Amino acid sequence: MGVTGSIAAYKAALLVRLLVKEGAEVKVMMTPAACDFITPLTLSTLSKHEVGVHVSENGNWSNHVMLGRWADVMLIAPASVNTIAKMANGICDNLLLAVYLSATCPVLFAPAMDEDMWLHPATKANVAKLLSYGHRQLPVHKGELASGLFGEGRMAEPESIVAYVSEFLAGAAASGGHSGTPVTGKPLSGKTALVSAGPTQEPIDPVRFISNHSSGKMGIALAEALAEAGANVQLVLGPTPLSTTHSGITTTRVITAAEMYERCMEHAAAADILVMAAAVADYRPRKVADIKIKKKDDEMSIELEKTADIARTLGAQKKNGQLLIGFSLETNNEREYALKKLKDKHLDMVVLNSLNDAGAGFFHDTNKVTLLSPDGKEKALPLLSKQEVARNIVLAIIDLQHA
C-alpha cells in the first residue's frame, strides 16, 4: 500500500486496519510528503511491518524490486495529483515510485485532490495513461474538500476501498489470476441476477393510487454493482423517474405488485442470484373504480386485499444453488422482524435497515444496513452511500457463492 502527500492520508490508518482485519498482509510505503499528514509509526503499528519512506534508511537499502514482486496487488491510497503525474510519466524520485515501477502485480489507485485539480486536463491525461497501463482507478467521491469547497475529488472511504479490493481479488481467484498476472475476470461472470427495485402503485381509481416513498436508488445501485461484478442482470423496476444505462442490465418497467410478481416469476428460473430490493405494496384495493371517485361523505372506506408475496414465493420454489436475498425496512423491533423474514421466506441473507437511523432509508443517497445470515452471522455496515452499500452486499453474495 502506498500513501502519498494528501490530507486524505489520515484515512490510511483505518484503511490499513480494515485490510488487516480482512486477512490481508499489508506492507506500507509512504512518500516523504505523506509523513507530514500521518506518522510512519502509526501505520507500522497497524500493519505490523516496518514502513518504508526512503530507498536507503539507517544504512539499510530497501529492496524495492522484491517489494514490487512480493505483493498480490499494489494499492495507492490516497494517490495525490503529484504522484499520479509521476506514475504516468515514469518518474522515480522516492521509494513508493521505485516500488511502483518494479511492481509485477496489478495496481489500484484512489485519487484524492481538490476538484479543480481533479478536473484539470493534465490530470485527466495522466489518469488516462495509468488506465492505458492496465491499472484500476477507484471512483472519486463528491463532498466537502480540504479547500472548504464542495465538489469532486474526495478519496473513496476506507470501507469502500476494502470492498473494491476484496472484489478485485475475488475476481483474480475466480479467473485463476495470481501475483504478477493482470486480472480481467470478474467474480460473477457467467451468472444471471434478478433484481427488483422501486415502489409499486396500486390504483384506487383512474386518478389515485396507494404507494410508498421508495425511489429505487438502492435497488438500482445493487443492479449496477452486480453488473460491475460480471453478472447479467434482469432489473424489474417499479414506477420511478430513475433509470440505469449500464450495458449489463436489462430493465423491465412495471407499475403494480401483480405486474412485478409476474415479471419476477418469468425471470426467476434462469437466475442464479435473486435480490428482492423492491418496496412492494402488501395490500391493494379489492375493487378499482372505473371513474374518479367524487368527494361526498365525511368518511370513506376502501377494502384492501393482500398482494402476492414475491420473496416468499421465490423462497418456496428456490432451486439448489440459487441465492435469495431479501430486504427488511423496519421502524421497530428491527432485528426480530428481519430474522423472522429470513427464516419464514427461506432467504440466504436479509439486509436490515431501520428508518430510525439518521441518513438511512427513503429520501437519502446514503444507507446504513446490517447483513444477517441463517447461520447467525451479522455484518453491520456504517453509514455509506447507497453505491458503497451495494458493493458490500455484492461482496457478501460472492462469499455466499463460494461457501
Domain 192-289+303-402 has CATH 3.90.1300.10: no
**Residue 294 annotated as lining a ligand binding site:** no
Question: pLDDT tens-digit profile of 1-49?
Answer: 999 999 999 999 999 999 999 889 999 999 999 999 999 999 999 999 9
Grade residue 128 by pLDDT with cuts at 50, 70 and 90.
confident
Question: pLDDT tens-digit profile of 303-353?
Answer: 999 999 999 999 999 999 999 999 998 889 989 999 999 999 999 999 998
Measured between alpha carbons, how far is 381 from 367 in angstroms, rounded to an integer?
9
Query: Mind giving me the DSSP string for 131-155?
Result: HHTT-EEPPPEEEE-TTS-EEEEEP
Measured between alpha carbons, how far is 345 from 312 in angstroms, rounded to an integer?
5
| C-beta separation of 155 from 140 below 8 A | yes
pTM: 0.58
192-289+303-402 matches 2-174 in CATH topology: yes
Q: Which residue has the cell 425511489?
A: 215
Spans of all domains in the chain: 2-174, 192-289+303-402
Among 55-69, 72-86, 175-189, 206-220, the range scoring the smallest mean pLDDT is 175-189
Q: Of residues 58, 82, 126, 212, which has the active-site annotation? A: 212
Among 274-283, 311-320, 386-395, the range scoring the smallest mean pLDDT is 386-395
Query: Mind giving me the DSSP string for 235-302?
Result: EEE-S-S-----TTEEEEE--SHHHHHHHHHHHHTT-SEEEE--B--SEEESS--SSPPPP-SS----
**Residue 365 annotated as lining a ligand binding site:** no
**Residue 168 annotated as lining a ligand binding site:** no
The answer to whether 212 is a known catalytic residue is: yes
Taking 60 as the threshold, does the pLDDT of residue 356 lie above it?
A: yes
**Residue 375 annotated as lining a ligand binding site:** no
Which residues, including other chains, have CB under 8 Å from residue 319's CB and lie 6 or more apart?
A: 269
The CATH code of the domain at 2-174 is 3.40.50.1950
In this prediction, residue 59 carries a pLDDT of: 55
Task: Give the number of C-alpha atoms closer than 13 A to the C-alpha of residue 150, restricted to the C-beta side.
Answer: 1
| C-beta separation of 385 from 365 below 8 A | yes
Question: pLDDT tens-digit profile of 53-69?
Answer: 988 765 556 677 788 88
**Residue 363 annotated as lining a ligand binding site:** no
